[in-house]
């Protein structure tokens, strides 16, 4: 007889999903899956809308990373109006990048301080009443304050550029619609009304030091929990291979660091990716065509980005990247929990870049838009907080969108998250016939490392709970936990 | 100097009556004196705990699934560390709890829940929600913004 465990919904992830675990007659795990059970529809209902509406509409996919969708769509729409990324005006490029770094900064800060840190500070099996942001605030109030102010700083940057913190509008086809004012940027630099960009850099360094210390004391957990070999995918700078979040070429490596995608231009992505479909999930499974479904999948996000890049352009983040890569002697890092560490290095990178851009007078310029020859197709690829985000649009002669393809970060991470769930099933749930709170949370810890945004991944509508179910050999649910 | 008050309108105008919180702000703002601030929110967040420290009075306005005789409910909001908040969303009680715990500030707070009827993916309020919104607006204006009440005990939103 076999049995099946189900975790549904996963909490402290964006959106919700369901985990099922199948057991045999001896309670040994025979299979484990991470299901996404939400409705998918954004790619369809944007069809027929004028192309210039895409950056505004698609950002409604998400309330946490709308800027990433706004910018990815904008990059694609730039091409529709004949403007490639390198032909955007320099001020427009820098203003968009400032917006993007603000977005990644606030999203990473939110994830680390409020979603991941409770697991790290209190342990995955601690009392769930304590293991949350309120628990962090009670026991580590200074950490909580910094977390709040770091997220606020990023959101204020978004408000500066896009007009409001969520679902603002910054881009226009071929550029941006407004410059930054001199007084506006002072707000972020003078350390008066809010902590300055320098303070953000200082706090980012401090939190990386915390992570290093945590690693020293919890090496076994961070190095081994949900570790498995995988491919890694991300954008890198076309010229020097450095970490790139706004515009670059696609690079992927296998688990050993061998190149599997060699600096491919954005427009060519379609030649290299397939998206497999499984009956048990709305979320697709992207993979590299030339490697195949079984081995061609890749992680995306902070860990993948630090693996595929050759360095970071800002000095403090570069130093931290070197320390990080030393953990694996420069080899590819497949340790899932190190994703949190990588995320913090990116926080530092974003803080340094925001300061650099805020001090750059180009953002004060009125040279904001470019025009080119009208095209029928555009591809925009960006590194969203959670990983590589692809927007692809085709339009007709009447300017209406006829086709839309979105491959969002969490979709790339679908197979990796399933691998993580299988690891926990085999190492934590194996031999058990009931679900404890600690067991349930360990499944969530593995998934949370990817900071999945399931509402983005399935472009969902409606309520999205998470559940864990345990099934027996006959398909009967023998235990179940649900979080709402 | 008058006590500062902030109104948080919570919801999503793309989900029909879920936009009641925002609609309330849209309608009320023309009547607000200068000691009021308003904020539109899809969902409450941890940073709202920090924002709340700047105010003596905090009001959370949101759509409500439950039906009330008046079409709305007005109730005090007490700080509470709730256990069930999910993903990136905080309830008003947890926001206040963080305001107290982290910042040692104790604003008075209330929740104005307005009964909605339709939460489908569409713009605009249902007729029932529109009616309830009107009642909630009248309640708030009469209770807290009417010049007759200003400066008296009745004008304090939580007394």
Helix, strand or coil, per DSSP, at residue A32:
strand
Helix (H) or strand (E) holding A263: strand A259-264
Contact A141 B101 (CB under 8 A): yes
Whether B84 contacts chain A with CB within 8 A: yes
pLDDT recorded at residue A12:
41
Q: Would you tell me which CATH number, out of the four given (1.10.3720.10, 2.60.120.260, 1.10.287.610, 1.10.645.10), belongs to the domain A67-275+284-362? A: 1.10.645.10
Whether A144 contacts chain B with CB within 8 A: yes
Q: How far apart are CA A422 and CA A221, in angstroms?
A: 17
- Chain A residues touching B84 at Cβ < 8 A: 483-484
Contact A148 B83 (CB under 8 A): no
> A338-358 and A90-110 helices cross at what angle (nearest 10)?
140
Residue A160, both tokens: 């500066």
- Chain A residues touching B85 at Cβ < 8 A: 132
Nearest CB among A147, A151, A484 relative to B86 is that of: A484
CA distances from A398 to A48, A125, A392, A401, B11 (A): 10, 57, 18, 9, 35
pLDDT recorded at residue A381:
97
Centroid of chain to Cα A224 = 22
Contact B98 A137 (CB under 8 A): yes
Q: Which of A51, A95, A16, A6 is nearest to A448 (CA)?
A: A16
Nearest CB among A60, A129, A148 relative to B83 is that of: A129
C-beta neighbour count of A469 within 10 angstroms: 22
Q: Which residues contact A61 (CB under 8 A, 6 or more apart)?
A: A42, A69, A406, A408, A455, A456, A459
Nearest CB among B47, B85, B97 relative to A148 is that of: B47
Query: With a CB-CB cutoff of 8 Å, which residues 43-82 of chain B face chain A?
Result: 43, 45-47, 49-50, 81-82
B133: cis peptide before it, omega within 30°? no
Q: Which residues contact A392 (CB under 8 A, 6 or more apart)?
A: A76, A269, A270, A377, A378, A379, A380, A403, A404, A405, A406
Centroid of chain to Cα A175 = 25
- This complex has an ipTM of 0.71
Residue A248 near residue A261 (C-beta atoms within 8 A): no
pLDDT recorded at residue A13:
43
Give the number of beta-carbon pairs within 8 Å between A and B.
Answer: 68
- Chain A residues touching B82 at Cβ < 8 A: 134
Residue A405, both tokens: 């393809």
Contact B102 A147 (CB under 8 A): no
Contact A484 B49 (CB under 8 A): no
pLDDT recorded at residue A8:
47
Whether A114 contacts chain B with CB within 8 A: yes
Domain edges within chain A: 3-40+413-483, 67-275+284-362
- Chain B residues touching A483 at Cβ < 8 A: 84, 86
Whether A461 contacts chain B with CB within 8 A: yes
Contact A114 B83 (CB under 8 A): no
Instruction: Show the low-confidence residues of chain B (pLDDT under 70).
Output: 1, 82-89, 121, 147-159
Closest chain B residue to A41 measured between Cα atoms?
B121
Per-residue pLDDT of chain A (484 residues; tens, 9 = 90+): 445 555 444 444 444 567 888 888 888 888 888 876 554 567 887 899 999 888 888 776 666 678 998 999 999 999 999 999 999 999 999 999 999 999 999 999 988 988 888 888 888 777 777 777 778 888 888 888 899 999 999 999 999 998 877 777 888 899 999 999 999 999 999 999 999 999 999 999 999 999 999 999 999 999 999 999 999 999 999 999 999 999 999 999 999 999 999 999 999 999 999 999 887 777 789 999 999 999 999 999 999 999 999 999 999 999 999 999 999 999 999 999 999 999 999 999 999 999 999 999 999 999 999 999 999 999 999 999 999 999 999 999 999 999 999 888 888 999 999 999 899 999 988 888 888 877 878 888 888 888 776 554 443 333 445 678 888 888 888 888 776 5
How many Cα atoms sit within 13 Å of A52 on the Cβ side?
A: 11
Residue A76 near residue A382 (C-beta atoms within 8 A): no
Torsion sign, CA atoms B122, B124, B126, B129:
positive
pLDDT recorded at residue A36:
66
> A338-358 and A141-162 helices cross at what angle (nearest 10)?
50
Helix (H) or strand (E) holding A176: strand A175-176
Contact B86 A11 (CB under 8 A): yes
Whether B83 contacts chain A with CB within 8 A: yes
Contact B14 A166 (CB under 8 A): no
Strands (E), B26-145: 36-41, 57-64, 72-76, 108-115
- Chain A residues touching B90 at Cβ < 8 A: 133
pLDDT tens digit string along B5-35? 999 999 888 778 989 999 999 999 999 999 9
pLDDT recorded at residue A282:
74
Nearest-CA distance from B94 to chain A in Å?
8
Interface test with B, best of A9, A137, A194 (most B CBs within 10 A): A137
Closest chain B residue to A131 measured between Cα atoms?
B83
């Amino acid at each position: 007889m076999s049995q099946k465990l189900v975790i549904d919904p996963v909490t402290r992830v964006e959106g919700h999903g369901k985990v099922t675990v199948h057991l045999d007659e001896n309670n040994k795990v025979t299979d484990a899956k991470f299901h996404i059970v939400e409705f998918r529809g954004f790619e369809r209902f944007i069809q027929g809308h004028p192309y210039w509406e895409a950056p505004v509409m698609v950002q409604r996919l998400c309330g946490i990373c709308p800027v990433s969708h706004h910018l990815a769509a904008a990059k694609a729409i730039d091409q529709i109006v004949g403007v490639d990324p390198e032909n955007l005006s320099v001020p427009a490029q820098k203003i968009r990048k400032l917006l993007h770094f603000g977005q990644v900064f606030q999203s990473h800060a939110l994830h680390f301080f409020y979603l991941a840190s409770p697991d790290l500070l209190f342990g995955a099996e601690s009392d769930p009443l304590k293991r949350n942001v309120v628990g962090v605030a009670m026991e580590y109030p200074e950490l909580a304050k910094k977390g709040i102010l770091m997220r606020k700083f990023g959101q204020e940057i978004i408000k500066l550029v896009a007009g409001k913190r969520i679902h603002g509008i910054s881009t226009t086809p071929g550029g941006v619609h407004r410059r930054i004012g001199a007084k506006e940027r002072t707000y972020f630099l003078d350390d008066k009304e809010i902590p300055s960009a320098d303070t953000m850099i200082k706090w980012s360094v401090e939190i990386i030091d915390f992570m290093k210390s945590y690693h020293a004391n919890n090496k076994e957990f961070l190095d081994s929990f949900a570790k498995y070999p995988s491919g890694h995918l991300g954008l890198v700078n076309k010229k020097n291979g450095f970490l790139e979040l706004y515009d670059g070429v696609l690079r992927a490596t296998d688990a050993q660091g061998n190149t599997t995608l060699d600096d491919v231009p954005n427009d060519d992505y379609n030649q290299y990716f397939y998206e497999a479909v499984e009956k048990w999930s709305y979320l697709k499974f992207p993979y590299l065509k030339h490697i195949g479904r079984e081995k061609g999948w890749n992680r995306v996000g902070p860990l993948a980005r630090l693996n595929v890049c050759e360095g970071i352009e800002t000095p403090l983040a570069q130093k931290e990247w070197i320390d990080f890569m030393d953990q694996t002697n420069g080899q590819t890092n497949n340790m899932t929990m190190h994703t949190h560490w990588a995320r913090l290095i990116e926080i530092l990178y974003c803080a340094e870049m925001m300061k650099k851009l805020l001090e750059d007078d180009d953002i004060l310029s009125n040279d904001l838009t470019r025009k080119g020859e009208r095209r029928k197709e555009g591809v925009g690829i960006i590194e969203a907080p959670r990983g590589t985000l692809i927007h692809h649009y085709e339009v007709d002669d009447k300017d209406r969108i006829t086709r839309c393809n979105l491959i969002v970060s969490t979709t790339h991470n679908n197979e990796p998250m399933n691998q993580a769930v299988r690891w926990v099933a085999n190492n934590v749930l194996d031999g058990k016939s009931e679900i404890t709170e600690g067991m349930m949370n360990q499944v969530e810890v593995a998934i949370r490392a990817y900071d999945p945004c399931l509402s983005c991944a399935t472009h969902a509508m409606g309520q999205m709970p998470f559940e864990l179910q345990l099934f027996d050999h006959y398909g009967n649910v023998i235990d179940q936990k649900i979080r709402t | 100097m008058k006590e500062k008050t902030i109104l948080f309108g919570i919801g999503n105008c793309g989900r029909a009556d879920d936009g009641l919180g925002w609609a309330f702000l849209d309608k009320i703002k023309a009547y607000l004196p200068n000691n009021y601030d308003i904020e539109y929110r899809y969902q409450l967040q941890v940073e709202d705990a920090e924002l709340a420290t700047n105010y003596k009075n905090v009001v959370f306005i949101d759509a409500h699934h439950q039906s009330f005789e008046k079409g709305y409910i007005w109730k005090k909001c007490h700080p509470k560390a709730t256990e069930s908040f999910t993903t990136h969303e905080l309830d008003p009680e947890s926001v206040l709890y963080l305001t107290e715990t982290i910042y040692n500030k104790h604003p008075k707070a209330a929740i104005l829940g307005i009964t909605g009827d339709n939460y489908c993916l569409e713009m605009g309020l249902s007729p029932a929600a529109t009616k309830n919104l009107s009642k909630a607006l009248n309640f708030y204006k009469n209770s807290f913004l009417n010049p007759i009440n200003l400066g008296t005990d009745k004008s304090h939103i939580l007394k």
